[in-house]
Amino acid sequence: MSKRAKDVIGTKEFRKLFNQISENEPQKRELHNAFKTLQEDCLCGNKITHDLWPQSYIKKYKIKNLWRLPLRSGWRLVYTIMGEKDGFVVCIIEAFSHKEYEKRFGY
């Protein structure tokens, strides 16, 4: 089952990282492709079990669900899905390397 999102947004921290990446960088294109993928199907990532959620995400973003989307480059997008009256919105919390992802989630 897939769910189309009406929008894909990012946290202030994610937007700062995203804006620092040059438009010519392959990583920027990969992120744009990921945004399209998430808008077409916000359930395409892997759901992260509640016991693995970083406390900082719970406190800062008041998340109710958490998902991971692995990218070809080895990076990971971590996002939450928010329900609104007129549909779903994907909010990207962070994007980071596999090594940074493992550190954040305590693997």
- Considering the chain, what percentage of its residues have pLDDT values greater than 90? 90
Chain-centre distance for alpha carbon 82: 12
Residue 98 has pLDDT above 80, yes or no: yes
Q: Which domains does the chain have, with CATH numbers?
A: 5-105 (3.30.2310.20)
Mean pLDDT for 17-24 is 96
Encode pLDDT of 33-70 as tens digits: 999 999 999 999 999 999 999 999 999 999 999 999 99
* 18 pLDDT higher than 90: yes
> Edge to edge, what strands does the sheet with 5-10 contain?
5-10, 87-96, 76-84, 67-70, 46-47
Instruction: Please tell me the pTM assigned to this model.
Output: 0.93
Q: Residue 2 above 80 pLDDT?
A: no
Q: 89 to each of 24, 60, 81, how far by Cα in Å? A: 27, 18, 6
